[in-house]
Amino acid sequence: MNELPNSYVSNRVLKINVGFLLSAGPGHSHDTAFDVPLLRVSDDLMLDFVRGPIRLSRTAAGILVQGHLETAIKSECYRCLDPVTYPVTVRVEELFAYPTPTVAEFSVHEDGILDLAPLLRAEVLIASSSGLLCRPDCKGLCPNCGANWNHTTCTCAMDDIDPRLAGLKKFLE
């Protein structure tokens, strides 16, 4: 397997030659499975792994891809910026058009190559769009000094009180 210098596998493993299915005609299918570590799907998305079975079925309109893929995103917590690994299960069901029409989001290239990278990228980004947290009770960063409140405390927050909320301070006393 070709690995990139930073130990991520190239997204070329997501390019599948389906020429044999295109020539076989509608009604034929092929089952395959992924078990790929540290995959760079695109410039903005790196996955810890991709595992799971997929089925490629030839239809009159192209190749239908169906499957369940397990993966994990390596990213940063959106509150405290600590590294986080977030598991994601992606259910894939998409028709890759063939022959390539003028308007199609996903299609099989003329050389018989089906590229799963754009579909996998879209599905993973949708699944993780709510934001990633290192833990549900993440306290975040101090807006003044940048201290990570999960690991340390600071006195900045106690000193600076928004004047609009100063009246509420008496309830804390």
pLDDT tens-digit series, residues 91-144? 999 999 998 776 778 999 889 999 999 999 999 999 888 778 999 999 999 888
Burial of residue 16 (CB within 10 Å: 0-12, 13-18, 19+) is buried
Summarised one tens digit per residue, pLDDT across range 7-62 is 788 889 999 999 999 999 899 999 999 999 999 998 888 899 999 999 999 999 99
Q: Which two tokens stand for residue 47?
A: 């996955």
Q: What is the pLDDT of residue 5?
A: 46
pTM of structure: 0.75
pLDDT band at 159; cut points 50, 70, 90: low
- The answer to whether 138 touches 145, Cβ cutoff 8 Å, is no
Which residues face 148 on adjacent strands?
141
